[in-house]
Structures are given as C-alpha cells and as structure tokens.
Amino acid sequence: MILKDKMLIRQTIQNIEDKGVNAEWALRMTLDKYRDVFSKVDDEYLRERISDVEYAGQRILRKPGGGPSRDRLRDRR
C-alpha cells in the first residue's frame, strides 16, 4: 500500500522536477518529510508507523531500476 501511495509518488516526482535531484535522493527527501510529519502525531501507534514507510523506502532504494518507469509513475498522479 505504501508503494502505491499517491502522495508519496507525487512528492517524490515534485522533488525531482523542482530540485533537479535524482530519483533516489528525491525519495529520501520525501521520506524525511514523512518522518517529520509522523514524529509530530500525538498517537503513539501512528507515530511508530514511520518505520513501515522507511522500510518500504529502503526496499525501493535497494532495487534501482526495478520499479515502474517515470512515465508510469506520472500516470498514478
């Protein structure tokens, strides 16, 4: 589910377009933003879910070139 999250995809693409960084760095920037948001949540259970998001992000980063093309990501917006 995390990998299909439209906000995660949209923000990562936005980082690529606005900041001119590569996909890996853009994803790391997006995950950092998620970490900041989750850390401010009052609910401890939800706050701890950032580890799930980071785990999914690390799996993506360990498998470069194995995901959908940028054009396919655009279609998911």
Residue-level pLDDT at 48: 83
Q: pTM for this structure?
A: 0.70
H-only helix segments in 1-77:
6-19, 23-39, 44-48, 50-62, 70-75
Neighbouring C-beta atoms of residue 3, cutoff 10 Å: 12
User: What gap in Å lies between CA 42 and CA 51, rounded to an integer?
Assistant: 16
Per-domain residue ranges of the chain: 2-72
User: What gap in Å lies between CA 13 and CA 77, rounded to an integer?
Assistant: 10
Domain 2-72, CATH among 1.10.274.10, 3.40.190.10, 3.65.10.10, 3.40.50.1820: 1.10.274.10
Phi, psi of 66 (to 5 degrees): -95, -5
Tens digits of residue pLDDT in 33-53: 988 988 888 998 888 888 888
